[in-house]
Amino acid sequence: MEKQIHPNFKKASNIIFGTVGLGLINLFLSRDTLSYGKNLFVVVFIQLIIVALGYLVRRGYRWTKYLLLVLTFLGLTEIPSVINNLTQKPMVELINIAQTIMQIWTVVLLFKVPESLENNSTEQTHSPKSNNSLSIVGLVLLLVPILIWALWIGTFSSNPSALQAEKVEIYLSYFPTFLRGGSSISLIVVALAVSSILFTILGRKKANTIFKVVGIFVIIAGSLVLLLQLFTML
């Protein structure tokens, strides 16, 4: 029998899906994004991650409010840049402001869920096998950003006499053309690290012992990769 889900979870998910809709509108308003395949890929990928997060909120997973709180805080750091660009791209930046307000509204709704009802939200019981699979998916997702970082470190350590620009060029040569330049690779690392942590958290609770150990490793390593990548993007 499915447990009761507080209405705020559904309201919050609707708002999240609304921000995705605004994001798609912004995508078509930003011609520079549509002009470059790499930018389009990154934007669409991020929107898919947000849709997945909205789905998890709709299912009543209470831990999503903490993740949304962190993401909203990170989004607020972009407000000064948004204000500076308001006169150049008024429609795009107004939509960005609207998205930020909606994100704050979402967090408020989730934190307003009473603790007693929050604990009764849907966290459905799955078989250990399915939870083990989620842990494996989290591990596989984490291997990609780890490989990217290994390529970065290996490229710089194996070419000590090369100039900085030459090392970067060698590093970028490992990736498809549409991913080179800008912050595409960095955003992919962030998205995959977050995804690996989410999948592992979902599966770890009722996974077998060995997969719980794997889950602990993925959560710790994924968090370190995420923090390191965010630090390099500052």
Q: Are 124 and 2 contacting, i.e. CB atoms less than 8 angstroms apart?
A: yes
Share above pLDDT 90 across residues of the chain, in percent, rounded to a whole number: 11
**DSSP secondary-structure letter at 179?**
G
Alpha-carbon distance 49 to 34, whole Å? 19
The reply to whether 76 falls in a domain is: yes
HSE, CB side, 13 Å, CA atoms: give it for residue 76. 10
Q: What are the structure tokens assigned to 138, written together?
A: 């989290």
- The total domain count for the chain is 2
User: What's the one-letter identity of residue 153?
Assistant: I
Q: Which domain holds residue 221?
A: 128-233
Alpha-carbon distance 35 to 154, whole Å? 32
Please check whether residues 176 and 223 belong to one and the same domain: yes
The reply to whether 2 falls in a domain is: no
Per-residue pLDDT of 49-97, as tens digits, reads 788 888 888 888 787 888 788 778 877 877 887 888 888 888 888 888 9
Please check whether residues 12 and 97 belong to one and the same domain: yes
Please check whether residues 57 and 94 belong to one and the same domain: yes
Please check whether residues 104 and 132 belong to one and the same domain: no
Looking at per-residue pLDDT, the higher value among 161 and 44 belongs to: 161
Per-residue pLDDT of 156-174, as tens digits, reads 888 888 888 888 888 888 8
Of 83, 118, 153, the residue at which a domain comes to its end is 118
Q: Nearest CA to 227 among 157, 145, 151?
A: 145
